[in-house]
Structure 1
Amino acid sequence: MDITRFIAALEQIAPPELAEDYDAGRIGLIVEGREDIGTVCCALDATQRVADAAVRAGADMLIVHHTPLWNPVTAVRGPTAHLLRTLLAAGMNLYVMHTNFDHAESGVNDVLAARLGLLATERMTAGVVGDCSLDPEEIARRLPGGGIRVYGEVGTIRRLAVVGGSGFDPALLREAADLGAEAFLSAELKHSVARASPLPCLEATHYALEAPAMEALASRMGWHYIPDPPHVVVIP
């Protein structure tokens, strides 16, 4: 398929106008490669391991959630140079679906809610609240990549708020509480936010919360999914 038609199809899945303002210039076609798209790979992050796997798969397009070029590039060296050299040498396109995919229907938050079995869901400004019957242990079992941290006293949760990515914003926590949530699941919780939260906070990793949506997208579209969980060593 011609890349112009392919990108138009991607923009139907995750319309760029759904992205947060801070994503300006950081979504869409980040690295330009060949114009004819046949083999497509999908992953959460454009790590070197993912890029190497995409090359082995013969990918013309690699679709990821997080851009590897978050800050303006004023020098091309080190890991950035290695990654770009790999993509450019292979003629591979790199396309980023970030906060636009978070907010899209069947995007990050919807897939996360479905994976946890949330019912009667309502959309928040940047997330989903839904009914359930879950305890923290069951939530951890349903997410890839290990456990979660629990801040506050939590038993069986009857209504849960979920936000993929860094969602522990005081305004979102209040919004979730107003929608009847009994707990809030997201990533990158700050101590000061946890102390002031009106809800118990369940902290998972970005990978646990966002990788399921990229895997589901790949499955839906018939693309190759490349899992790349972070290697974490727990030191007692």
Structure 2
Amino acid sequence: MDKDAFVALLEKIAPPMLAEDFDTGRIGLIAEGTDQIEKVGCALDATPYVCERAAAERFDALVVHHPAFWAPMHGITGRNVEILRPLLQNNINLYAMHTNFDHVHGGINDVLAREIGLTDCVRMDKTPSSIGVVGTMSKSFAEISKILGCGLRVWGDVSGVRKLAAAGGSAFDMELILEAVSLGAEAYLASELKYNIARESPIPCIEATHYALEAPGMRALAKTHGWEFIEDTPLTSIIQ
């Protein structure tokens, strides 16, 4: 497949118009490589490890969820060199689909809901920035923790919860929580919870890791298209 056709495929999967404003200039084709694309790698993040693996596996393209670079660059130094060098030296295309893949049907949040066993799901779509789904739990929180491969930090009593809102990534926002409540959610699962949100939330907040909530969507994308998913799980632990 030529590069233009490949980019067109990715834009069909996750239309750029669905991305939020802060993703402007950060998604799409980030680094240009070979014009012919046959072997594709996929990951949540374009970390130095992932980029080295892409080079070692001789991929023609690497598709990631999170933008590789958040700040404008006036020089390529430090960690940015570690990301770009293996890609540029090996003519590997780098493509990012971020909030556009959060919002699209079948994207990050729909896969997450399926992975953790939510049924009868309703998408949160009240505003352009709404993400996540509300569904009926078919699995316990202990089972969800095992599926996600991470511990869950819980604020509040979730012993009787049956309706759960789940949103991939850093989605603990009061507007989203209230939207989830309006759809019947009795608890809210996301990552990177701030103290004031936990205290003010009308329903219990359940915090998983960012990686655990969003990697399933990229794994599913890779499986669907016959790409290879590169796992790069952050090392985390809990000391008590």
Choose from 171, 177, 183 the match for 1:167: 171
**Alignment of 1:202 onto 2:206:** yes
Q: Deviations over 1:52-107 (max 9, x none)?
A: 11111110100001112111112211111122111100100100010000111110
State the partner residue of 1:55.
55
Choose from 207, 211, 218 the match for 1:214: 218
State the partner residue of 2:127.
none
How far the C-alpha of 1:156 sits from its partner, in A, is 4.1
State the partner residue of 1:150.
154
Counterpart residue identity of residue 135, structure 1: S
State the partner residue of 2:102.
102
Counterpart residue identity of residue 182, structure 1: E
Alignment RMSD: 1.1
For 1:164 and 1:77, how far apart are their aligned partners in 2?
A: 31
Match runs of 1:46-195 below 5 Å: 46-124=46-124, 125-144=130-149, 146-195=150-199
State the partner residue of 1:37.
37
Counterpart residue identity of residue 137, structure 2: C
The SS at the match of 1:171 is helix
Q: Alignment identity in percent?
A: 53
Contact 1:134 1:157 in 2 (8 A): no
Contact 1:165 1:206 in 2 (8 A): yes
The SS at the match of 1:122 is strand
Counterpart residue identity of residue 140, structure 2: D
Counterpart residue identity of residue 74, structure 2: T
How far the C-alpha of 1:136 sits from its partner, in A, is 2.3
Contact 1:133 1:157 in 2 (8 A): no
How far the C-alpha of 1:233 sits from its partner, in A, is 4.3
How far the C-alpha of 1:235 sits from its partner, in A, is 4.1
In the comparison of the two structures, how many residue pairs are matched? Answer: 235
Counterpart residue identity of residue 34, structure 2: R
**So what's the TM-score if we normalise by structure 1?**
0.96
For structure 1, the 5+ residue unaligned runs are none
The SS at the match of 2:162 is strand
**So what's the TM-score if we normalise by structure 2?**
0.95
Counterpart residue identity of residue 175, structure 1: E
The SS at the match of 2:198 is helix
How far the C-alpha of 1:113 sits from its partner, in A, is 0.4
**Alignment of 1:12 onto 2:5:** no
